[in-house]
Amino acid sequence: MKRILIAEDEPHIFRVIRIALERAGYDVEHARNGEEALAKLKIQFPDALITDIAMPKMDGRELCRRIEEEIPDRQFPIIISTSKTDIEHREWSGKMQNLTFLEKPASLRQLIALLAELLDSSKGTQRGHL
């Protein structure tokens, strides 16, 4: 079963996504902010990470920067869920590989389809331990 880590500070949003992903056959783990997500990533890589941009303690942008800096051999895809569509978000992410933006409002079907596509295209993804 593919394991998905979701970094989301809004409990009700996490619950909705978790239910949809579990119904689609994924194992789901939760991080309430970027700090918690990074700590979990340093223990074991998920098959994919879904993160919000706006979170307390460490936002999604900083989380991605820290992943790039501290986990340079990462092979899992990252989906960034954001309501902001401005070019600023795309510029900071320009050097990162295996990173996809999902603009809100997106349906759960869109999220599941994107996740399946990304996981299918990265069949060589390895789970890692640091």
β partners of residue 4: 28, 48
* 33 in any annotated domain: yes
Output the pLDDT for position 91: 64
Give me the CATH number covering residue 105: 3.40.50.2300
How far is the C-alpha of 65 from the C-alpha of 116, rounded, in Å? 24
Alpha carbons 106 and 3: distance in angstroms, whole number: 21
pLDDT tens string 37-61: 999 999 989 999 999 888 889 988 8
Residue 90 resides in a domain:
yes
Residue 59 domain-assigned (yes or no): yes
Q: And the tokens for 67?
A: 């992943």
- 103 domain residue, yes or no: yes
pLDDT at 125 over 50: no
Mean pLDDT score, 84-93: 57
Domains: count for the chain: 1
Confidence at residue 89, expressed as pLDDT on a 0 to 100 scale = 57
Asked whether residue 126 carries a pLDDT value surpassing 80, the answer given is no
The pLDDT value recorded for residue 88 is: 58
42: containing domain: 3-121
Is 130 a member of any domain?
no
> Considering the domain boundaries, does residue 110 fall inside one?
yes
Higher pLDDT, 73 or 78: 78
Do 64 and 80 touch, CB atoms closer than 8 A?
A: yes
pLDDT of 81 above 50: yes
Residue 120 clears pLDDT 90, i.e. is over it? no
pTM: 0.84
Helices (H), 9-86: 11-23, 34-43, 60-70
Alpha-carbon torsion angle 75, 77, 80, 86, nearest 10: 80
